[in-house]
Amino acid sequence: MSEAFDHVNEAGEQPGGNNVVPLDRPVAVDPADLDIATLGPCRITSPMAPLLDSRRTTEHYIDEDDRVLLDDTLTKVTSRGVPLERLPGLEPCGPRRKIYFDPSKTRVGIVTCGGLCPGLNDVIAGLVRTLTYHYGVRRVVGFRNGFQGFISSYAYDVVELTPQSVRDISVDGGTVLGTSRGHQDPEEIVDCLERMHINVLFVVGGDGTMRGAMQIERVIAERKLKIAIVGIPKTIDNDIPYIDQSFGFQTAFSRASESIRAVTVEAKSTANGIGLVKLMGRHSGFIACYAALARSDADVVLIPEVPFALEGENGLLAHLRKRVEQRGHAVVVAAEGAGQELLAGDAATDASGNAKLGDIGPYLRERIAAHFAEAGVETSLRYIDPSYAIRSVPANPYDSVYTVRLSQAAVHAAMSGRTAMVVGRVRRRFVHIPMAMAVSKRNQVDPHGDLWMAVLESTGQPFRFGD
């Protein structure tokens, strides 16, 4: 399958790191790669049919044959040189008049995996309410502590989920189901689903979680079972490709901007003060960029997509010293994955198989302090790492609304027999995306795009330190 197609997110930039494609030229994609797998024909009248019939004159009704086009400009559409019906597009989300599963006989499972992110409890609550109120599903269970919850050796009980039990969970951060990282045997997971007669499993997590969900779906297909696997993609770093924005991201950069404000106050309150904030962003610098733009206090933003040099006339350290001389203080915002080329890695990985990063925050703190000491400039350096405080907070109102809509879209998809797919929003339209496409690449800040240009304009820093 193709690994890329054009995508311009809400900030106007096209992600893709160094593999940048001009915005007026579409990337080749086989429309068949965007097809959504189904368990079979839908023959059951949906409990939502009366609601749909009463709104027939609105866009609420989903045309089964409609598609949300990938191309958003006339230039890209015409340059494909194919008939209208051959243009690649994504299946729209929404309730169908006919569904696959009989709600009265359907049992549903929910699992949350990976790191914490604002909005996880909102997703759980949204799934439970939509399943119960709109479809009449009688049993929804949560599996504890990620994929470990399916494995008998961990001996975790399942959690009975009802609208009453999830009524107030959205006010708390984290996930009431718990979470974990790491691979678990998909065969044993499917054994558990069979024993419990689960018909639908909603998986909430990032790219590693979705790869695990794809392995579960593969075993289900091999056993010829009728179990739908539907994902709600989650990453605080906003690095899931093709979607406008991942849930929790707005909450994260809003809270991160408060840390920038705090460290700026500290830096301004001392002679030659320097503030340093390390934010989330292993491979993608979206949180650092958006948080810095929200405050406009940062003098430097460092992201994984743009390497930088410390030493030399055009290096970061010399730039900081000039800023301190000019303004009396300076503020640096660094994504956790920035500057890894400066740190000696040991090739270790975490439970999810992700490479363990060097800690750029303490490294920068030490190098900046040493540089100013060698230059004979007395300074006061304040360092903040708010990562865990940000991950654990409840979702803000924007993300709360977004998660509700994602969970509703996921339920509609699952009840209509869709599987091996995730829900997401592309250019403000909620769509179904094959899981394979959702994990095929990583969304990154384009160093030549509008977002990074906006950061450079805001901070006044050069395009790259050391050039």
What are the angstrom distances between the C-alpha of 99 and each of 227, 280, 350? 14, 40, 41
Is 53 catalytic? The answer is: no
Percent helix, percent strand, percent coil in the chain, to nearest 5: 35, 15, 45
Q: Which is the catalytic residue, given 6, 122, 207, 237?
A: 237
Question: What does the alpha-carbon distance between residue 354 and residue 81 come to, in Å, rounded to a whole number?
Answer: 41
Biggest alpha carbon–alpha carbon distance for the chain: 79
Tokens 């939509």 sit at which residue?
130
In 27-122 the beta strands, taken as DSSP E runs, fall at 37-38, 44-45, 68-69, 89-92, 98-99, 107-112
DSSP secondary structure letter of residue 420: S
139 Cβ contact partners less than 8 Å away, ≥ 6 residues apart: 107, 108, 160
d(Cα 193, Cα 172) in Å, to the nearest integer? 29
Lookup result for tokens 């599963």:
101
Helical H runs in 111-247? 120-129, 186-195, 207-222
Distance CA 307, CA 384 (A): 22
Tell me how far apart the alpha carbons of residues 101 and 226 are, in angstroms, rounded to a whole number: 10
Compute the distance between CA of residue 183 and CA of residue 416 in angstroms, rounded to an integer: 29
- At residue 71, the 3 state secondary structure works out as coil
How many other C-beta atoms can be found within 10 angstroms of the C-beta atom of residue 167? 12
- The letter for the amino acid at 163 is P
Q: Count of CB atoms within 10 A of residue 86's CB?
A: 10
Catalytic residues: 237
